[in-house]
Amino acid sequence: MTVIDGGRPVFVGGDDDRIGRGPWARLLATSIVPDEGSPRAERGRILARTGHVHSVTIAAGEVAALAIGSAGAEYRVTLRAAPVAPRVWAAVVGSPRGRALFEAAAAGRGQSVQLEHVMTVDWDEPLVPPGRSIQRSCTCPDADRSGTCKHVIALAYVMAAAIDDDPSVLLEWRGCTAEEPRRPVIAAEPAPDAWAAGRLPEIGPPRALPVGSVLKRLGQSGLVVDGVDLRDALEPAYAAFAAATG
């Protein structure tokens, strides 16, 4: 939760009558205030400029404050809107297009018309909620009759000015994290070298082969010497050699 100016009275500055310079701030003001040229809007504008709104808190789904009326009475004012679905926000800021076009806005460092357009057109989930989606409440007697009393209007202008100062407050109200959640980095084990040989098996003591075993594996040679196949003729020679060296 964010507390604007530490809960102290907020004085909305500016040289002109219009409050809200950036696109998000301006869109929010027009969403909540139906007719900015009306006497009611002017009274709310004066309350915002003269510090009659204080204890402003911003949390996911709700902006709340205390407003002091012209007669000195204090009222509790709230602006409520359902937060943006987490899956929508994750899809918008996680896409390559989102990273390229509005990375700064998704991190709360700027007000992007492109981000608002993509969320409204592609996802039907506008970042700045339309007026019909914002629930306004005030404990003043006038709230029951109008739905948008001068105290609600004053809080709308305070919120618009806060967005101009720090766009991330809109993201907080809409339940959008200023930065994409960072997944923990798990160190991967190094991949084995495809050219590295494995461990060689231990070689046991040599085992003597029977005499003439190689000749027997070769089979008949087809060469006949004195009526005997060459393989059979060589076998006595192998036996003699083995006896001499053994």
End-to-end, the C-alpha distance of the chain in Å comes to: 94
**CB within 8 Å of 39: residues ≥ 6 apart:** none
User: Looking at residue 153, what is its pLDDT?
Assistant: 94
What is the distance between the alpha carbons of residues 231 and 116, in angstroms, rounded to a whole number?
Answer: 92
Domain count of the fold of the chain: 2
Tens-place pLDDT, residues 191-245: 666 666 667 767 766 666 666 666 666 667 777 777 777 777 777 777 777 677 6
> In which domain, by residue range, is 234 found?
213-245
End position of a domain, from candidates 150, 173, 196 = 173
Tens-place pLDDT, residues 75-103: 999 999 999 999 999 888 877 666 666 78
End position of a domain, from candidates 173, 202, 222 = 173
46 with 168, same domain: the answer is yes
Is residue 68, in this structure, part of any structural domain at all?
A: yes
pTM score above 0.85: no
User: Looking at residue 84, what is its pLDDT?
Assistant: 94
50 with 122, same domain: the answer is yes
Tens-place pLDDT, residues 151-195: 999 999 999 999 999 999 999 999 997 544 344 444 555 666 666
